[in-house]
Structure 1
Amino acid sequence: MKEKLQTKFATRQYMISDTFELYYYSTIDVPGVKEHTHTHYEFYLFLEGAISLEIDGVLYTPTPGDLLLIPPGVPHHLVMHDLSVPYRRFVFWVSAAFAEQLRARSADYVYLMEYAAENQKYLFPLDSVEFNTIQYRTIRLIEEMRSDHFGKETQIFLYVSDLLMQINRTVYEQHHPLTRKAQLSLYEQLCFYIDEHLSEDLSLERLAAELFVSKYHIAHVFKDEIGISIHQYISKKRLARCREALLGDVPVTKVYLLFGFHDYSSFYRAFKKEYGISPKDFKELHTVTSD
C-alpha cells in the first residue's frame, strides 16, 4: 500500500479551519495567484522546483530542503521559472488564534513566528538531517489526518505540537549553537555529540578523545543512564535517521552512507531487525507519490 499524500492545488488563500491546515502539493503549472497576504502563518517546506518567492519586496530562491515562514500581513507571490520542472512543497497553515492558544501553553511554540515577524527574515536553510527530521513529522501528521484510528483528533494535536516544536527547536538551535552545549552532563554531552556526528566515526576511542574522559567511563555512564550500550544507542539513532530519510527523496542505495553505516548488508540486517521490514520495502510502503 502506498500513501498518496498529494492534495489537488487550489488557489484559495484563506483558511477554512480555525486551527491549522496541511497540504502536500506536486504540480507542473500553478494557476496565477497574484500578490496577496494572509491572516494566518504559512510554513513552507520546499522540496523541488524552479521557482522563486517574492516576499515583502525581496526575491527568495529556495533550494530543496529550505524552510520558509510567511507571517500574517506580509505580501508575497510566486514566480515560476521553468514550467517543465515539477514543483513540490509542503504547505502548513497555522491560524493566528491557534498560535495564541499555543503561546498560552509555551512561548517555545511561537519562537520562529515572532523571529520572522520581528526580523523580516523568512527563509531558513536546513541541512539534510534537519530537513528529514521535519519532513518525517510532516508526513506522519498527514497520514494521521487521513486515517481512521482511534483517538485520531488527540493524536493529530500531539503531532501538530510536535511538528511545530521541531521547527522552532531547529531554527532556535541554528541561532544559539553554543547554548545547547552549556553546562551539560557527560551523558547529555555524549548524546549531543552523537546526534551531531552520526555520519562519522563514533568509536569509544573517538568519543573519549573528544570529551576528554576514558572510554571505560563513557561506556559505564551510558549503560547506567539508559540500560543499553552506547553501541546500541548509536545504532538506533542511525537507523532512526535512515528511516526518516527514506520517507523523503533519499534512495535506499545511498541512505546508509549518510548516517555512518559502512556497507549495505550490515545496514539491511540492522534495519530489518529494528523495524521488521527491509529498507526497500519500507520506502515503497511510504513513498510520497506525485501522480
Structure 2
Amino acid sequence: MRRQLQSPFNERQYMLSKDFEIYYYNDNHFYGVTDHTHDYYEFYFFLEGNVTISIEKEHHHLKPGDMVFIPPGIHHHVSSVGETLPYQRFVFWISQDYCQKLKELSKDYVYLIEHAQDTHHFIYHYDVVAFNALSAKIFRLIEEIHADRFGKAAKIELCVNDLMLHINRAVYEAEHPAARKDASGLYDGILQYIESHLDEDLSLDSLSKAFFVSKYHISHIFKDNFGISVHQYITKKRLSMCRDAILSNENITKIYLMYGFKDYTSFFRAFKKEYGISPKEYKELYAQKPQ
C-alpha cells in the first residue's frame, strides 16, 4: 500500500496548489537540488538515508525522526554523505495564506512558525513512537488525497489542520516539558523497560505486572498521546533491531529469536509489511559484504 503512495522525485521547488502539497519520497538514489529558498513553509520529515542539510550555510547531519522546518526566504539544500541506504522522507509544503487562515482560527496552529522566527531553531527530533504517530497522520492525509470518496475535500482539510496542530503541539511540549501530562513519566519508564527486554514476553499483562498499573491504563497512554498501540511499538522496535542485525550480516535464522519473535513466519510477514521486501532480500541488497 505504501509503495502506491510514493511520489516520483520532482526537482520543482514551487507550489502548483494555492494551499499545500505533500510528497512521500523513497528513492534508492540521491537526487539533489541546489541551494534555494521558497515563498511558502516547508516541513521535511526524515525517515531514512545518509544526508546532511544545509540551512543558511550551517550543516546538520540528519537522523531518522528529525523534522526540519524551513520558513520562507531561508536558504537550504540537502546533500548526500557517501553511500546511502534508501533515501526516504516526507515533504510537506503549506502556503503563507493558508497558515494565516489557520492563525485566525487559533494561534496554536502557528506556534512553531513564531518560535522559529524568534529562535532560528529549524530542526526538531521525535522519538520512535512519536514519529510513528506523526507518520500515521501523514499517510492518512496522502491516502485521502489518492482516494475518491464522498467528502474528500472536507476530509483533506481536516487532515491538514490536524497534522499542523499535531506538529505544533509536539514542538510546544518539547519546549515546555512541564506542560506534558503526568503519564509521560510512566511512558518513558515503559519505553526503557521494553528496550531492555525485547527478547522476553512483553504482553500488556506482563507490562501491567512490571509497573503495577492496569493494562488498560498502559494501552490508553500509548493510544491517547501517541496514536500507536503498545504492540505496534514493540513490533516496530523488534523489527528495527532485526534490521540492524541483518545489516551487520548476522544469521537471519537466529536474529528473529534474539529479538522476541516466536516463529519465522510471523517475523517474515511483519518484516515484509514494514520494509516492503523479505529479510533475505533486504540482506542481499544492503548487508555488509564479507571481506
Asked if these proteins are the same fold (TM beyond 0.5), I'd say yes
Calculate the aligned-residue CA RMSD, in Å.
Answer: 3.4
Shift of 1:82: 2.5
Aligned counterpart, 1:123? 123
The residue type equivalent to 2:143 in the other structure is E
- Counterpart contact for 1:129–1:241, Cα < 8 Å: no
Distance of 1:153 and 1:248 partners within structure 2: 32
Aligned counterpart, 2:288? none
TM-score by length of 2: 0.71
Distance of 1:144 and 1:7 partners within structure 2: 15
Unaligned runs of 5+ in 1: 182-188, 208-218, 220-229, 255-261, 269-277
Shift of 1:118: 1.9
Shift of 1:235: 3.4
- Counterpart contact for 1:137–1:159, Cα < 8 Å: yes
1:232 correspondence with 2:220: no
1:4 correspondence with 2:7: no
1:251 correspondence with 2:235: no
Per the alignment, do residues 253 and 33 of structure 1 end up closer, same or farther by CA in structure 2, a change over 3 Å counting? closer
Distance of 2:170 and 2:40 partners within structure 1: 21
**CA distances 1:97-124 after superposition (whole Å, capped 9, x unpaired):** 1111111111111111221122111111
- Counterpart contact for 1:132–1:248, Cα < 8 Å: no
Identity of aligned residues (%): 36
- Counterpart contact for 1:102–1:109, Cα < 8 Å: yes
- Counterpart contact for 2:56–2:74, Cα < 8 Å: yes
Aligned counterpart, 1:24? 24
The residue type equivalent to 1:4 in the other structure is Q
- Counterpart contact for 2:37–2:73, Cα < 8 Å: yes
Distance of 1:159 and 1:125 partners within structure 2: 22
- Counterpart contact for 1:53–1:78, Cα < 8 Å: yes
Paired residues, number = 243
Higher relative contact order (CA 8 A, sep 6+): 1
The residue type equivalent to 2:174 in the other structure is Q
- Counterpart contact for 1:136–1:247, Cα < 8 Å: no
- Counterpart contact for 2:32–2:79, Cα < 8 Å: no
Matches within 5 A, 1:1-291: 4-181=4-181, 189=182, 191-199=183-191, 200=193, 203=208, 206=211, 230-235=214-219, 237-238=221-222, 240-242=228-230, 245=233, 251=239
Unaligned runs of 5+ in 2: 194-205, 243-258, 278-291
1:82 aligns to what SS in structure 2?
A: coil
The residue type equivalent to 1:172 in the other structure is Y
TM-score by length of 1: 0.71
Distance of 1:78 and 1:156 partners within structure 2: 29
**CA distances 1:232-277 after superposition (whole Å, capped 9, x unpaired):** 24235557335765997862997xxxxxxx9667xx9xxxxxxxxx
